[in-house]
Amino acid sequence: MDNLSRLTSVFLLAGLAHVAPAAAHDLKPFQEVGRSHVLHEDVSPSGTETINVETYVPQACAAKPCPLVISMHGLGRNAAGARDNWVDAADRYGLLVAAPHFDKERFPTRLYQQGGVRDEPDRAKWVYAVIERFFDQALKSGRVAGDTYVLFGHSAGAQFVHRMVLLMPEARFSTAITANAGYYTLPIGKEAAGGFSFPFSLDGTPATEVSTKAAFARPLLIMLGDQDTDPNHPQLNTSKGAEAQGPSRFVRGQNFVAVAAAEAKRLGVASPWREIIVPGVAHEQRKMASAAAQALFGKP
């Protein structure tokens, strides 16, 4: 994978200072080949939590460090499935995989899909910061190559991913991938977003023009299955704010891309954000993960 540029502005350095690692037990993931898991202690708005992280190490990574992919599960909260959808790619390209489990009981929508941002001034308590602290522990294991990770999310996980990019652009992902999100936080204010505030726009978050410009400068792939067009899909968000973005995930994704491109142009950012349409694929996480792996690690 090509080395992608990292931002080093004062804004980003200041942001990282707000998400300094919390105390945690000595974590050693990725120590054995195959499927496994590790328990990660972290903080959340309700206190200290133990988070199960499903992992996978291919044989090719048994004796050498490898790049890390963190895969975020969808609405079903199936972390093992989110990991397993990357196993073939891990074997093919030599990748470590980690999939944290954010159960619905402790991490409802406002904490998982929306990151716990609303009314929380302490960035260290945002759920996005959990990913960064897990990465700190993963680096201590000595098994991770480099100093970045790939962040992938499908459906509800895609909501998590693109909001993390927008609200915590200083995070150490090399590339973030949002695949088939149900709806989006548009990178604009409430008035431009039809009167809808967060989670449908950045209104009501700490985002500023400076932080939004930083987000536009980070690598984000917006992946859309061209058959994810069912307006009556049982898991599709049908709130007024979501419906204002379009009748289906595919249309909402295209709308997000268009709005983001216009806003990046207004802010004067040459953004590396890229739309990838995956032909013949509906709301299918495994196929979208395969397409993401090919886009990042496959030969041109």
CATH number, residue 71: 3.40.50.1820
In-domain check, residue 76:
yes
- φ, ψ of residue 211 to 5 degrees: the values are -70, -35
In-domain check, residue 142:
yes
Closest CA to 152 of 127, 170, 173: 173
Q: Given a cut of 80, is residue 25 above it in pLDDT?
A: no
The total of structural domains in the chain comes to 1
Tokens at residue 153, please? 């999310």
In-domain check, residue 40:
yes
In-domain check, residue 166:
yes
Tokens at residue 68, please? 């890390």
Rounded to whole angstroms, how far apart are CA atoms 268 and 249?
A: 28
Rounded to whole angstroms, how far apart are CA atoms 200 and 190?
A: 8
In-domain check, residue 174:
yes
In-domain check, residue 5:
no
Containing structural domain, residue 275? 10-297
Q: Given a cut of 80, is residue 236 above it in pLDDT?
A: yes
Closest CA to 68 of 38, 107, 44, 113: 38
In-domain check, residue 1:
no
In-domain check, residue 4:
no
For the whole model, what pTM was predicted? Answer: 0.90
What residues are paired with 276 via a beta bridge?
223
Contact by Cβ (8 Å): 201, 192: yes
Mean pLDDT of the chain: 91
Q: State the pLDDT confidence band at 73, using cuts at 50, 70 and 90.
A: very high
| pLDDT of 51 | 95
Question: What sections of 191-284 are H helices per DSSP?
Answer: 209-216, 240-243, 249-267
Q: What is the pLDDT of residues 115-160, one digit of tens each?
A: 999 999 999 999 999 999 999 999 999 999 999 999 999 999 999 9
Contact by Cβ (8 Å): 138, 113: no
